[in-house]
A and B are shown apart, each in its own frame.
Chain A
Amino acid sequence: MGLREYVIRRLIYMFLLVVAVVCFNFFLFRLPTLLFGVSPVDLMIDVNLRRNMTAELLEEIYARFGLVPNPDIFDWIYMFWRYVVNMFTGDFGYSFVSQRPVTDEIMARLPNTLLLMGTSSIVAIILGIFTGVKVAADPGSNRDVGAVTVALFIYALPVFWVGMMLLMTFSFYVPNLTGGLIQFPSGGTITPDVWIASKDDPLGGLIIAGNILHHLVLPMVTLGVGGYGGYFLYMRNSLIDVMTEDYILTARAKGLDENQVLYKHGLKNAMLPMVTIIAMTFGFLINGATLTETVFGWYGLGRYIFRSLIILDYPVVQAIFMVIAITAILANFIADLLYGVLDPRIKYG
């Protein structure tokens, strides 16, 4: 089978997978309703409104959110059909809470999430690969054992705890010790005072960019540290495996120096499994980092997903999960194609 047939077959699989995800997505977020009869309306009615509730008002509230009280099987079929049509036409509907289009809500948070996840992933990948290669050149050495121990330790640390420690250190203790000379923001994406002051400044854009980067440092380091251990261990193990192959022995027998053997012959081949991992990482960039975004008050999709799940804001969570699922499927598809292109031994079939 040639590349064309392979791509077509993969595209058909992808389409079927998307259909399955769409169906699964509908039921996943309605499980509390299906199993326990919990309605998002229950969650939005506070004590003062509840005790003034009339049957008429309740019906009106359900209608406002496009919901059906105590739905029967026909109501479920109707809701499912409406949902499927909306999903395939890109109509994600309106958030129950803000009454704004879900697409607008997602787009408002997406740049922040991509910035945080993108920078932290790049830092973690580069550092992981670099240090992984360095220690894999001399497996079993003190440097290797030390680096593996440190990486495993870091890998095991809860990311929210790392975030809190960094916050406490660099937003409280260090500023106190240095009289505010070294201080990182205690949360958020921008400093309101800086934002307001920069509006009248000709270099306002640069000032805001600098301020956002200042806010980015701690959450980026937190996520970078969290991801680093994994990339390091993958890279190291993959390279150590490759370095035992016959073609490495051949390279050495040819009299190539060790750096050439390591980087030209070893690293190139060891990178193949890393490609899949990196592609998948970028596929999941969009889902944000719920814990890190929560700890640092970062205005991103991760925090939004969490809050929307808590209050059963179906239109939001189903839209975000749909987008995440599709990007993950796409990333997987791209990784498969890349793998085939990079490794001539792979045959389509």
Chain B
Amino acid sequence: MASTRAKRTIAITLVAAFALMAISPIFATAQTIPGHAKTGPYIDKLRFDVITSDDLQVLALQNDEIDVIDSFLDPTFIPALEVAENIQLTNVLRNGYGFVTINCDRYPLNYTAVRRAIAFALDKNAISADIFEGFSGSQDSPVPKQNGWSIEGQLPYTYYEPQVQKGKDLLEAAGFYYEKGAEFLTGPKGDFDPILVECASSSPIAIEVGAFIADALLDLGIEATSEPTDFYEYLGRLNNHLDYDMCFLAWEFGSADVDFLGKEWASWNADEPFLNFPNFKNSTYDYYIDDLLHSTDYDTVYAAAIKLQEIWVYECPYIITYQNIKYHAWRDDKFAGHVNDWSDGVPGTWTNKKVHLKADQGGPFGGTFRWSNSLDLDTFNLLGASSAYTIQVLTELYDSLMTLDSTGLDMLWLAESYLAETHAENDAIPVGHTRFTFNILQNATWTDGTPLTAEDVAFSLNFLRDAPGNRYRPDLLEMSAAYAPSTYTVVVEFNTESYWHLHGVAFKPIFPKHIMQEIVIEDWAEWSPNPPVEEFVTSGPFIITEYVAGEFTELTYNPNYFFGPDKTVETPDTDTTTVAPPDFTMAIVAGAVGAAVVILVGGYVLMRQK
């Protein structure tokens, strides 16, 4: 039997251990890199080496010529990279998907029952397993499943598994039947031509998906063929609402906004070029669009988004065929702090801000973080950039009022706070208008030393709205005014009400007024900065310091960046792939739980001893 002394020792040890557990979360959060969630960058230089082919990118990563591959990996490289030294693989669901659009104007595809029957008959799980070898998943909703607005998995049914009999039952109920001796079905309004499923001849994946869909149609008893076609040829037909039955496409979203549910498939857009490929018209669907696009109340907007998805999934103007998983490869021997962004994965702007040298490399500050860039920069004019590979470099040079954090949530950036008002909140605002008042940071400067003020923000928004044909313009067409009543306050007013106006304004890049006002607004596309030979005034965390056409672009840390770290603070090295801000709530909860355990266990032991 243990002595009293031994029991006391055990009790004290237990109390100490639990006490340590209770306060440990505070120490855990204290071991992150200095600053707050917005602090960065920690590296000295960021370099984008132009490496155009997948093979060369993988070779360069293995040879330690780059630290991260910018695009997602071809799955065939995964086995080799999994066993490679100092190389890590991470994955993220693609913020997009592959799908077939169905011409809802065309008999018999104008029957909801036919479209649903095809969706039920299609084996989406087999597409993921056979074509993508498991690097993909099934999806029904038009909103990707990692997006908080998505209803994926919330419906009482899915189209994942092949349910051919269910499809046949739907067709029968809709009046489809076999004529005597016929091989294929006849519709309630008579015979119809075989369904043509068109897929891009340039994409082996598209061709295989097309074959799966044609097989599903044949399983249902509908005559169909799959035909590889020139992608741009049928894209032109879709854009202009010309003839087709079913066509394969793939989408990648740039944000988490779901206003597209209202813009894309509204009945009134069924004949608009570039919109509503399936010519989808549904009055119940239209009914909820106004709530989605023109309400400013989150609950109303959310309810509308849910309802629209429910109708959409039921009606099947598109059939989503897969949502693939993006694998990214990066080296972990020199840098730590990589961030697996919800949409971009590791090669994204959050990694550039948070990545830092390891202690054994002389970290945390300094070093050159090297990306591959699959294409060279087309231009340094962000307004005119259309290539994702150009945009991923140029976005490091500018800031916006808000941004998305690495989990996809809104984060204030240049704006310190904002106020959104309509007539309901403020009588001074005309009925039907929305007004945003942003208070911006007071320590932001342009790289030439000029302070970044509300004047720059107001000028940029007006410029983006008025410059003809620029890609940022559509979101701002309903903006009636943007002005700066004081140095650090900007007011933006829209002549309509919408929950989405905030993102329409807040995610736009802010340009220096003192530079851009020299440009004739109609000639914005001809503005062609030539850094570093000519001074290029920007505000972002990096400055362009070297550019060799076709070879690389070198960016250097902006020493005056408003969220730049205090480099006098010694930073402990961390090997985490995500960076979390200090979480005191977690510490309090853990402390309370720990204290309870200490009291109960310690009390019990002491009581036993007594």
**Residues on A facing B (Cβ under 8 Å):** 32, 36-39, 42-55, 57-58, 60-61, 63-64, 94, 97-100, 108-109, 112, 164, 167-168, 171-172, 175, 183, 186-190, 192, 195-196, 294-297, 299, 303, 307, 312
Segment of B43-51, B159-167, B420-428 engaged in the interface with chain A = B43-51
**Residues on B facing A (Cβ under 8 Å):** 47, 49-53, 55-56, 59-60, 62-63, 65, 96, 230, 232-233, 235-237, 239-240, 242, 251-255, 260, 263-264, 272-275, 370, 375-376, 378-379, 381, 384, 386-387, 468-469, 471, 473-475, 477, 525-526, 528, 546, 548-552, 554
In contact, B551 and A63 (Cβ under 8 angstroms): no
A187's nearest neighbour on chain B, judged by CB, is B56
Give complex CA distance A294, B51 in Å. Answer: 10
B47's nearest neighbour on chain A, judged by CB, is A192
Give complex CA distance A172, B62 in Å. Answer: 8
B474's nearest neighbour on chain A, judged by CB, is A52
- Residue numbers in B under 8 Å from A190 (CB-CB): 548, 551
Give complex CA distance A190, B552 in Å. Answer: 9
A49's nearest neighbour on chain B, judged by CB, is B471
Partner of B552, one of A46, A167, A192: A192
A257 to chain B, nearest CB (A): 53
In contact, B528 and A52 (Cβ under 8 angstroms): no
- Residue numbers in B under 8 Å from A46 (CB-CB): 252, 254, 386
A47's nearest neighbour on chain B, judged by CB, is B251
- Residue numbers in B under 8 Å from A172 (CB-CB): 59, 62-63
- Residue numbers in A under 8 Å from B376 (CB-CB): 299
In contact, A187 and B525 (Cβ under 8 angstroms): no
- Residue numbers in B under 8 Å from A168 (CB-CB): 59
In contact, A57 and B473 (Cβ under 8 angstroms): yes
Starting from the known contacts A42-B235, A109-B550, A171-B59, 9 additional A-B residue pairs (CB-CB under 8 Å) come to A37-B236, A47-B96, A47-B253, A50-B275, A55-B273, A58-B273, A99-B384, A186-B56, A192-B551
A180's nearest neighbour on chain B, judged by CB, is B63
In contact, B386 and A97 (Cβ under 8 angstroms): yes
- Tell me whether A187 and B60 are in contact in the complex, defined as CB-CB below 8 angstroms, given that A50-B274, A51-B275, A64-B525 are known contacts: yes
Give complex CA distance A52, B500 in Å. Answer: 13
Q: Name the residue among B51, B253, B375, B549 with the largest chain A CB count within 10 angstroms.
A: B549
In contact, A53 and B273 (Cβ under 8 angstroms): yes
In contact, B59 and A43 (Cβ under 8 angstroms): no
A51 to chain B, nearest CB (A): 5
A194 to chain B, nearest CB (A): 11
In contact, B554 and A196 (Cβ under 8 angstroms): yes
In contact, B273 and A98 (Cβ under 8 angstroms): no
Give complex CA distance A42, B233 in Å. Answer: 10
- Tell me whether A186 and B63 are in contact in the complex, defined as CB-CB below 8 angstroms, given that A54-B477, A192-B47 are known contacts: yes
Give complex CA distance A42, B238 in Å. Answer: 10
A311 to chain B, nearest CB (A): 9
In contact, B63 and A97 (Cβ under 8 angstroms): no
In contact, A164 and B55 (Cβ under 8 angstroms): yes
Give complex CA distance A142, B230 in Å. Answer: 51
In contact, B550 and A45 (Cβ under 8 angstroms): no
In contact, A108 and B474 (Cβ under 8 angstroms): no
In contact, B273 and A297 (Cβ under 8 angstroms): no
B81 to chain A, nearest CB (A): 13
In contact, A38 and B49 (Cβ under 8 angstroms): no
- Tell me whether A51 and B232 are in contact in the complex, defined as CB-CB below 8 angstroms, given that A60-B468, A188-B50, A189-B551 are known contacts: no
In contact, B475 and A52 (Cβ under 8 angstroms): yes
Give complex CA distance A167, B47 in Å. Answer: 23
B320 to chain A, nearest CB (A): 14
B530 to chain A, nearest CB (A): 10
Q: Name the residue among A39, A48, A109, A296 with the largest chain B CB count within 10 angstroms.
A: A48
In contact, B378 and A98 (Cβ under 8 angstroms): yes
Partner of A175, one of B63, B230, B253: B63
- Residue numbers in B under 8 Å from A97 (CB-CB): 378-379, 386-387
A289 to chain B, nearest CB (A): 15
Give complex CA distance A162, B475 in Å. Answer: 50
- Residue numbers in A under 8 Å from B260 (CB-CB): 51
- Residue numbers in A under 8 Å from B53 (CB-CB): 187, 294-295, 297
- Residue numbers in A under 8 Å from B378 (CB-CB): 97-98
In contact, A32 and B233 (Cβ under 8 angstroms): yes
Give complex CA distance A307, B375 in Å. Answer: 10
Give complex CA distance A295, B550 in Å. Answer: 14
- Residue numbers in A under 8 Å from B232 (CB-CB): 32, 36, 38, 42-43, 312
**What are 22 A-B pairs with beta-carbon distances under 8 A?**
A38-B233, A39-B236, A43-B232, A44-B386, A46-B252, A46-B254, A48-B253, A49-B474, A50-B275, A51-B274, A55-B272, A60-B468, A64-B469, A112-B550, A167-B59, A186-B51, A186-B59, A186-B60, A188-B551, A297-B56, A299-B550, A307-B375
- Tell me whether A297 and B386 are in contact in the complex, defined as CB-CB below 8 angstroms, given that A108-B549, A175-B63 are known contacts: no
B524's nearest neighbour on chain A, judged by CB, is A64
Q: Name the residue among B230, B384, B552 with the largest chain A CB count within 10 angstroms.
A: B552
- Residue numbers in B under 8 Å from A94 (CB-CB): 526
- Residue numbers in A under 8 Å from B526 (CB-CB): 94, 99
- Tell me whether A100 and B50 are in contact in the complex, defined as CB-CB below 8 angstroms, given that A42-B235, A58-B274, A64-B469 are known contacts: no
A191 to chain B, nearest CB (A): 8
In contact, B477 and A192 (Cβ under 8 angstroms): no
Give complex CA distance A252, B275 in Å. Answer: 82
- Tell me whether A303 and B240 are in contact in the complex, defined as CB-CB below 8 angstroms, given that A53-B474, A172-B63 are known contacts: no
Give complex CA distance A112, B50 in Å. Answer: 15
- Tell me whether A45 and B274 are in contact in the complex, defined as CB-CB below 8 angstroms, given that A187-B60, A192-B554 are known contacts: yes
Give complex CA distance A50, B272 in Å. Answer: 11
- Residue numbers in B under 8 Å from A186 (CB-CB): 51, 56, 59-60, 63, 65
Give complex CA distance A38, B240 in Å. Answer: 10
The 9 lowest CB-CB distance pairs between A and B, nearest first, are A299-B550, A52-B474, A60-B469, A60-B468, A36-B233, A192-B552, A98-B378, A53-B274, A187-B56
- Residue numbers in A under 8 Å from B554 (CB-CB): 192, 196
- Residue numbers in B under 8 Å from A63 (CB-CB): 468-469
Give complex CA distance A319, B338 in Å. Answer: 44
Give complex CA distance A44, B232 in Å. Answer: 11
- Residue numbers in A under 8 Å from B272 (CB-CB): 53, 55
B252's nearest neighbour on chain A, judged by CB, is A47
Partner of A303, one of B49, B52, B474: B52
B63 to chain A, nearest CB (A): 6
- Tell me whether A36 and B236 are in contact in the complex, defined as CB-CB below 8 angstroms, given that A46-B386, A186-B60, A195-B551 are known contacts: yes
B467's nearest neighbour on chain A, judged by CB, is A60
A52 to chain B, nearest CB (A): 3
B65 to chain A, nearest CB (A): 7
In contact, A37 and B240 (Cβ under 8 angstroms): yes
Partner of A188, one of B49, B274, B275, B468: B49
B316 to chain A, nearest CB (A): 19
Give complex CA distance A244, B504 in Å. Answer: 82
In contact, B275 and A53 (Cβ under 8 angstroms): yes
- Tell me whether A297 and B254 are in contact in the complex, defined as CB-CB below 8 angstroms, given that A42-B236, A57-B473 are known contacts: no
Give complex CA distance A303, B375 in Å. Answer: 11
Give complex CA distance A175, B59 in Å. Answer: 12
Q: Name the residue among A53, A55, A186 with the largest chain B CB count within 10 angstroms.
A: A186
Partner of B379, one of A48, A98, A189: A98
A98's nearest neighbour on chain B, judged by CB, is B378
In contact, B469 and A57 (Cβ under 8 angstroms): yes
B276's nearest neighbour on chain A, judged by CB, is A51
Give complex CA distance A58, B470 in Å. Answer: 10
Give complex CA distance A328, B50 in Å. Answer: 31
In contact, B379 and A100 (Cβ under 8 angstroms): yes
Give complex CA distance A190, B546 in Å. Answer: 14
Give complex CA distance A192, B375 in Å. Answer: 16
Q: Name the residue among B239, B252, B370, B475 with the largest chain A CB count within 10 angstroms.
A: B239
In contact, B469 and A61 (Cβ under 8 angstroms): yes
Give complex CA distance A313, B84 in Å. Answer: 40
Give complex CA distance A42, B253 in Å. Answer: 17
- Residue numbers in A under 8 Å from B65 (CB-CB): 186
Give complex CA distance A138, B185 in Å. Answer: 75
